[in-house]
A = this chain, B = another copy of it.
Amino acid sequence: MSGDKFRMKSGDKNALVGRINFILEADKLKTIIRNTLLTDGSRFENAAEHSWHVALAALVLFDSAPVKGMDLPRIVNMLLVHDLVEIDAGDMLCYDSVQIPVQKAKERLAAERIFNLLPDSQADMLRQLWQEFDALETPEARFANAVDRLQPLLQAIRTEGKTWRQHRIRKDQVIERMQPIRTALPDLWGDVLEMIADAADKGYLIK
């Protein structure tokens, strides 16, 4: 089988070729650029490495969660797939609330296309993980969401709020954005508020 033969063909959906095509398609997430700088400030991070980072962070933060009995593998898997739709829909500045409905519509279309590269059983599994993350109705989704908020905050603080300053982000917007941490990782909430206050004092955020 040549590399070319991995181009999606109808009728191949239940064979391995669908999975290989999906794996090749997923590679594109490495080219989706986010508004978060790496801690060394050298460049913006992409959505693939971000997805890895939050999945890893979930592993080490999991037993700090006050909700017990959560399904850690589902949290990790949700974080692995949560941004795949950005391959088509792109990343958006999280403080740009006007764009949210348009973005959501784009993401639904993207999910249809990308997950359907897979055989049905895998497509269903990944679509369900993405939908669960997006709906924020289960404790697992809310925990995953909190980790997804925390990691860019840490990097923003480490890089002296450069992207916040660039977009003139206000302190109250960041506090609002970090709310999922308050309930899902309450032991961290005091530190998060202190970091944000400190960032505002240093002029990284508008007060």
A residues with a Cβ closer than 8 A to B are: 1-3, 6, 16, 19-20, 22-24, 26-31, 38-40, 42, 45-46, 48-49, 51-53, 55-57, 59-61, 63-64, 72-73, 76-77, 80-81, 118, 121-122, 125-126, 151, 154-155, 157-158, 187-188, 191, 194-195, 198-199
Chain B CB within 10 A, most for which of A28, A52, A63: A52
Query: Are A60 and B19 also in contact (CB < 8 A) when A27-B155, A76-B80 are?
Result: yes
Instruction: Report the bound CA distance from A2 to B197 in whole Å.
Output: 9
User: A195 touching B19 by the CB < 8 A rule?
Assistant: no
- Quick check: B64 and A19 within 8 Å, CB to CB? yes
Residues of chain B within 8 A (CB-CB) of A187 are 16
Choose from B27, B39, B51, B77 the contact partner of A28 (Cβ within 8 Å): B39
CA distance A76 to B79 in the complex (A): 12
Are B51 and A40 in contact, CB atoms less than 8 angstroms apart? no
Q: How distant is A49 from chain B, measured CB to nearest CB, in Å? A: 4
* Contact B191–A1 (Cβ < 8 Å): yes
Partner of A31, one of B19, B40, B48, B57: B40
* Residue contact B59 to A80, C-beta cutoff 8 Å: yes
Complex-state Cα separation, A52 to B53, whole angstroms: 8
B2, A60: Cβ atoms closer than 8 Å: no
In the complex, are the beta carbons of A126 and B40 less than 8 A apart? no
Best-surrounded residue of A23, A28, A81, A151 (most CB of chain B within 10 A):
A23
